[in-house]
Amino acid sequence: MVLLSPSVGGIRILIEKCESYAKKHNLRYNVEKSVYMIFKAGSKCPSYVPPIRLNGEQLKRVYTFKYLGHLVTEDLRDDEDIERERRALAIRANMISRRFSRCTAQVKITLFRAYCTSLYACSLWTQRTINAIRVQYNDAFRVLLRLPRYCSASGMFADAHVDGFHATLSKRCDLPTS
């Protein structure tokens, strides 16, 4: 569960409502797994934050948190998440390349579609950082099919009848194709 409020007072009210609900239904929130984050407004962040408590225990403040597979940071930048996804894509592609090196191109393409095109949480990425994933996506496909690094990305995807990065991204994010 995520609670959002523009103030510490607002968060305290929301937590009290959650505690009241939990008590009424014989539930208890796990304080060990509960944390709070304060988002920066530009470069501004409060120097002092009064304690935020759940079940009488003070919550730990974090600056980065993984939520539904996406890294959320206090400055709302997605650089860390893009880097994590880029590395994961490289690992998946290299694993397919090694384990299925003797398979036909069609089998490799099917595996690429299954394991390398999910782009989970891509609707949260900003245009500024998407380029790193695009390069990794193209390189992963080249490695998989043993194509030279300098070959045209659009050409290799067209030849293989596979959506390129931007088409895949558009489908995952329900964006119109440009």
pLDDT digits (tens, 9 = 90+) for 45-67: 777 888 899 999 999 989 888 88
Distance CA 135, CA 97 (A): 17
Whether the CA torsion 47, 50, 54, 60 is positive or negative: it is positive
94 and 29, same structural domain?
no
Distance CA 81, CA 72 (A): 8
Which letter does DSSP use for residue 100 in this model?
A: T
37 and 104, same structural domain?
no
Distance CA 103, CA 107 (A): 6
Question: Is the pTM here over 0.95, yes or no?
Answer: no
Q: Coil, helix or strand for 51? A: coil
Angle between helix axes 127-144 and 153-160 (nearest 10 degrees) is 60
Contact present, 122 and 169 (Cβ < 8 Å): yes
Residue 174: predicted pLDDT: 60
169 and 92, same structural domain?
yes
3-state helix, strand, coil in the chain (%, to 5): 50, 10, 40
Q: Residue 56's domain spans which residues?
A: 8-62
Which residue type, as a one-letter code, is found at position 28?
Answer: R
Task: List, for residues 123-177, the tens digit of each pLDDT value.
Answer: 777 777 788 889 999 999 999 999 998 899 999 999 999 999 988 888 877 654 4
165 and 116, same structural domain?
yes
Task: List, for residues 69-79, the tens digit of each pLDDT value.
Answer: 778 888 877 78
Residue 73 forms part of a structural domain: no
Q: Tell me the mean pLDDT in the region 104-113.
A: 94
Which letter does DSSP use for residue 83 in this model?
A: H
Q: What average pLDDT is seen over the chain?
A: 86
85 and 58, same structural domain?
no
Q: Looking at the predicted structure, is the pLDDT value of residue 178 above 70?
A: no
Residue 58 forms part of a structural domain: yes
Residue 67 forms part of a structural domain: no
